[in-house]
Amino acid sequence: MPETPDPAPSPVTLRGRSSAETRSAVLDLIRASGKISRVDLARRSALTEPTISKIVKELLSAGLVVQAGYAESTGGKRPMLLKLNDSGVYALGLTLDFHRSTIVVCGPDGSELARVSAGGTGEDDPRVVLDRLAGDIEALTAREGIDRSAVIGLGVASAGRRGFPQGWNVDASFFDVWEPYSVVEELAARTGYAVVRENDANCAALREYWVSKEPHRDFVTVYASHGIGAGIVVDGAIYRGSSGNAGEIGHTVAVPDGRLCWCGSHGCLETVASPRAMVEQVLADPALRAAVGVDGSTPIREVFRRLTSGAAKDDAAVRAMLERTAGYFASAVSDLVNTLDLDLVVLAGPGFAGVGDVFLEAAQARVATTGFMRELHPISVRLASIGSETAALGAASVVLQRHLTPHRTGPVA
Ligand SMILES: [Zn+2]
């Protein structure tokens, strides 16, 4: 470790590859700052004041930002503050999940204005589900008095992969039914809104970026739901990889020679540390079954709920199983930190319900005591929301980011 800490690094320039990209980055900085002066914009973007003045002039005349009073004087004239133009622009977000759907309405800064829970996809035909959800969306916007023309789009968060050939052996029936189905086109036809679809881990990561006043530009959100995925944020935008499927850490190997995963590898993280995998471990072990108080007829969700509730977690065998599982998870987090030189990993998603503390402690301990990066800088691991609304809010943020800063947004479905 160095004896004296390095001075604070100078800001990385926000100059993009084109003037439109630079403009997007400056608009994103205004959004994240709430209110900010031209001088502070120049300082934080490492762009020159004339460049900032030119961009701000364009943003003001396009109606994307507005004046927002004046800051305190630091000697001379009081500097004018700028903020995002937040009048009459809304984005909708939706999670598409088996048991429950969540619909949210967000303002232009990503703030949540309204939320409702709706029925999940269940075993119903996708057409029936989407008819129902389109009705729920219509009812919510009507209830909130939101004019259709003010809604810039609907983001849909769902687990899922892109570009899989039909018939690929994805084990969950949810994918079998929904993957070939064009949710984007069908929902657009039913609601009349522009629809974008994004996987839930990326949505959760983008949400984290949008709600932070001083956002990290490079971090990872690990999202646990049915499976385990990672939303990788690089320079303030989602990193997608060559086919749009980056972040499948659920299919990194946790147990060499472990159980065969549907992806063809053995011992993938998802086969040992997803909620389903933990439930399977309980059901396969008589001692764990007894400790958790379940048998073969207990519904899977109920097994997970009992496993992660207070009483069962006090049992030594259950504790040992959870800690072993959390250890596999911590290894995957440590690999991410070392691969991407991260100083922040955020955990989110309903798969952490009841076990978030165990997984968090294991990951924090691992990155603090082992690995290359710990000698170079602090590494923060923290738990964000375990609610599925995180993904819905993130889906609305995807819509907002495409609208406000399109040059920072990669292709989404
Ligand atoms: Zn796998």
Q: Residue 81: its pLDDT value, please? A: 94
Write b or e for each residue in 192-211: b if 16 or more Cβ atoms lie within 10 A of its Cβ, otherwise e: ebebbbbbbbbbbbbbbbbb
Reported confidence tier of residue 4, pLDDT bands at 50, 70, 90? very low
Q: Please list the residues that pair with 36 across neighbouring strands.
A: 82
Ligand 1 centroid, distance to 254 Cα (angstroms): 10
Q: What integer is the mean pLDDT of 365-372?
A: 90
Side-by-side strand order, sheet with 65-70: 36-37, 80-84, 65-70
Percent of the chain surpassing pLDDT 70: 88
pLDDT, tens only, 44-60: 888 999 999 999 999 89
Beta-strand pair 80-84/36-37 = antiparallel
Ligand 1 centroid, distance to 315 Cα (angstroms): 30
Ligand 1 centroid, distance to 38 Cα (angstroms): 49
Ligand 1 centroid, distance to 289 Cα (angstroms): 26
Q: For tokens 């504790």, name the residue.
A: 319
Considering only CA atoms, which of 70, 107, 69 is closest in space to residue 89? 107
* Least confident residue range of 70-79, 170-179, 305-314: 170-179
Q: Is 62 exposed, middle or buried (0-12, 13-18, 19+ CB in 10 A)?
A: exposed
Rounded CA-CA distance 2/413 in Å is 46
Rounded CA-CA distance 242/225 in Å is 24
Ligand 1 centroid, distance to 183 Cα (angstroms): 25
The SS3 of residue 72 is: coil
Ligand 1 centroid, distance to 177 Cα (angstroms): 20
Q: Residue 205: its pLDDT value, please? A: 94
- Tokens coding 333: 């987090």
Considering only CA atoms, which of 325, 254, 329, 319 is closest in space to residue 287? 319
pLDDT, tens only, 190-199: 999 999 988 8
Considering only CA atoms, which of 334, 345, 353, 340 is closest in space to residue 381? 345
Ligand 1 centroid, distance to 274 Cα (angstroms): 12
Beta-strand pair 112-119/100-106 = antiparallel
Rounded CA-CA distance 222/261 in Å is 20
The SS3 of residue 327 is: helix
Rounded CA-CA distance 26/19 in Å is 11
- Tokens coding 162: 């892109």
- Asked whether the predicted pLDDT for residue 5 surpasses 50, the reply is no
Ligand 1 centroid, distance to 330 Cα (angstroms): 17
Q: What integer is the mean pLDDT of 360-372?
A: 93
Q: Residue 410: its pLDDT value, please? A: 52
- Tokens coding 142: 């009507």
Ligand 1 centroid, distance to 266 Cα (angstroms): 7
Rounded CA-CA distance 93/72 in Å is 38
Ligand 1 centroid, distance to 351 Cα (angstroms): 17
Contacts of 187 (CB under 8 A, 6+ apart): 130, 133, 134, 154, 156, 193, 195
- Tokens coding 101: 């759907």
Q: Residue 331: its pLDDT value, please? A: 96
Ligand 1 centroid, distance to 267 Cα (angstroms): 7
Ligand 1 centroid, distance to 322 Cα (angstroms): 20
Ligand 1 centroid, distance to 201 Cα (angstroms): 17
Comparison of pLDDT for 159 and 65, the residue scoring more: 65
Reported confidence tier of residue 78, pLDDT bands at 50, 70, 90? confident
**Amino acid in position 68:** A
Ligand 1 centroid, distance to 162 Cα (angstroms): 16
Reported confidence tier of residue 92, pLDDT bands at 50, 70, 90? very high
Helices (H) and strands (E) in the chain, counts: 15, 13
Ligand 1 centroid, distance to 123 Cα (angstroms): 25
pLDDT, tens only, 214-238: 778 899 999 998 789 999 998 888 8
Ligand 1 centroid, distance to 263 Cα (angstroms): 4
Q: What integer is the mean pLDDT of 344-373?
A: 92
Beta-strand pair 90-95/100-106 = antiparallel
Beta-strand pair 151-158/195-199 = parallel
Ligand 1 centroid, distance to 173 Cα (angstroms): 16
Ligand 1 centroid, distance to 157 Cα (angstroms): 22
**What phi and psi values does residue 60 have, to the nearest 5 degrees?**
-65, -45
Q: Residue 12: its pLDDT value, please? A: 60
- Asked whether the predicted pLDDT for residue 365 surpasses 70, the reply is yes
**What phi and psi values does residue 98 have, to the nearest 5 degrees?**
-65, -45
